[in-house]
Amino acid sequence: MRKAEINLDCLQHNAEAIRRLRPCQKILAYVKSNAYGHGLSEVVKALNDHVDGYGVVGLQEGLKCRQLTSLPVVVNASASDLKTLIAMSAHQLEPVVFSLDYLEKLLKTPVSWPRIWLKINTGMNRMGLHHSDVSKAVTLLQQSGRVKSIIPMTHLADSSMSIDNKHQLARFRDWVDKSSFSSSSYANSAAILESNDHRHGEWIRPGLLLYGWTPEENQTHLIDLKPVMSLFSQILSINHLSSGSTVGYGRHYVAKQPHLAAMVSFGYADGLPRQIHTAKVLLGEAVGEVIGLPSMDTACVYLHSKAKVGDWVEWFSPRHSLHHLAASSQTIPYEILTRLSERVERVYVKEYDKVEG
């Protein structure tokens, strides 16, 4: 009743589109949060010949990824207890060091590391070493004798190359240029598209781009992407609403005139944001609108044309932008993708099939 069709050919196309845009740089594909809802196992297997490494969050994602690839796996925001760090080293997972406290615990672990990623706070003020601590961290790592390579990295705060992002990058480059590191990493999806800093050997970190969407809708002309996921759910019943009838919890919708309304098998337990408002959906070539508040298992759609029980409702796809659903829900595409629950069946396809009722 609920399904996400996932086109792995489109995923590979997007990786190659990123490669063409940044031919001299290495791609660290972000597959955290179950590959942005697309299924980590299938995504990694499809990307192994198209990227240079993977980024995940936490030990469990790292271990799952390692079972699927021999490429580098970089683990963000991992725990710093002894058991976790030993497991990471044993499976050749590369930690991101984001504080002196984390670094001190890592260096107390009796293991060696082929590579460490050193996260520097340049202005996002979330995670990362303060600039006054960076030199100390580098010295500790180099003196330890148990780290072969260090890659400094930072994270930009905005989803476009704003003035503040440019200031962040300038601070990062100023420090990197004064150091002896041969490689570094700053470019997330937004910076991949808009930054002119294309240094050879740099690691770029695409996330949303891999899955066929730009961070901002006005960036779509910058790269040839194909959306990887299309989301569908079926009509369960059709109600005849009279003028003045209300729909759903809280009676937030009141019919101004008689019309048909479809109850659709997709609710907030499936990942539909409860705050969704005036979102348009497709029913074949027809358009409907979400009305009222979604419940746990269902949403209600205003029908302007004929439909029947069992017909498929199209929430987003290559012809119906994820950005519309996100904007109608007062959120971002990332949240829509990553909150899709296990109740939504993932169906892996080679080409988009038109769903017939």
d(CA 230, CA 45): 20
From 32, 36, 119, 334, active-site residue: 32
Which of 148, 249, 306, 308 does the annotation list as catalytic?
249
Rounded Cα distance, 29 and 272, in Å: 26
Q: Is the dihedral of CA 308, 314, 315, 320 positive or negative?
A: negative
Asked about 32 being catalytic, the answer comes back as yes
Closest CA relative to residue 124, chosen from 71, 169, 176: 169
Instruction: Estimate the crossing angle of helix 40-47 against helix 8-21, to 10 degrees.
Output: 50
Nearest to 239 by CA among 303, 313, 311: 303
* Nearest residue to 318 via CA among 206, 213, 174: 213
- CA atoms of 214 and 118, how far apart (whole Å): 27
Residues 6+ apart with CB under 8 A from 340: 4, 37, 231, 270, 271
- Please confirm, yes or no, whether 166 is among the known catalytic residues: no
Catalytic residue set: 32, 249
